[in-house]
Structure 1
């Protein structure tokens, strides 16, 4: 797709990722990388005694997956002539429901706006991270990306 064609996709779903399993190993690796070793994430026995009934993923783990696993699978916008795509930031993020270890999540992305700049196109996306089998999403995040041409 050419960058000038993006305007016609505003308000439309532009990507749906594959389901991604959330494993204890992934949660533990994130805890080690960030130093956030709170027991509700890394101690299954203690976490089982909480209202969550077991360990849950860090909210920021779910958010960080938008940069990789939840954005590369399932298609999405393919802009012709793009040299690189960079994360420009976030406008709003809400962690709506806990992601239990052993569950699967996926991202549904809707294009909200397109702005053209000198040598780039800025895209704002509304990402809804769904939990398989649950009505309530794990997270809703408005992300801003820049595609440099």
Structure 2
């Protein structure tokens, strides 16, 4: 885990790759729970037998929004922002793309670039570019600019 002790240190890293997260597996159980939570039960995500027969990936694929929902976990497992941080808030996303599907049962990791640090009242807004890589898949499965407010 990369420890970034101060806001000044964080600002010095703008424009650089800051960390690469650990690999985490995306399981069928996780995909099924996400489908239940969102109501998105499209067969490509939850019908293992049909997906094995009809999809070119040999099985089901994770929801794009599940992949996106992993961003805080990937970021949090790779970077610690210091003891002076009282609160981090998800502020939103810019430019989200899903260049390739995420086959269920594969592991993903995040390659994390700090695009910018902008001062805001009481803190800073961080723009992280996170590229989600999948084992055995040539293209990334997600590329997103993730905005976080640091107080």
Question: TM-score scaled to structure 1, two decimals?
Answer: 0.92
Question: Does residue 1:72 correspond to 2:76, yes or no?
Answer: yes
Question: Does residue 1:136 correspond to 2:113, yes or no?
Answer: no
Deviation of 1:77 (Å)? 4.5
Q: Distance in 2 between matches of 1:7 and 1:71?
A: 17
Question: Does residue 1:113 correspond to 2:132, yes or no?
Answer: no
Deviation of 1:52 (Å)? 3.1
Question: Does residue 1:123 correspond to 2:131, yes or no?
Answer: no
Q: Distance in 2 between matches of 1:6 and 1:28?
A: 37
Question: Does residue 1:27 correspond to 2:28, yes or no?
Answer: no
The SS at the match of 2:137 is coil
Q: Distance in 1 between matches of 2:128 and 2:24?
A: 20
The SS at the match of 2:15 is coil
Aligned partner of 2:62 among 57, 63, 74: 57
Conserved 8 A contact 1:111-1:125: yes
Deviation of 1:15 (Å)? 2.3
RMSD over aligned CA atoms reads 1.3
The SS at the match of 1:124 is strand
Identify unmatched segments of 5+ residues in structure 2: none
Identify unmatched segments of 5+ residues in structure 1: none
Deviation of 1:134 (Å)? 2.6
Q: Distance in 2 between matches of 1:110 and 1:72?
A: 14
Task: Determine the structure 1 residue equivalent to 2:85.
Answer: 82
The alignment of Structure 1 onto Structure 2 pairs a total of residues equal to: 146
Task: Determine the structure 2 residue equivalent to 1:94.
Answer: 97
Deviation of 1:133 (Å)? 2.7
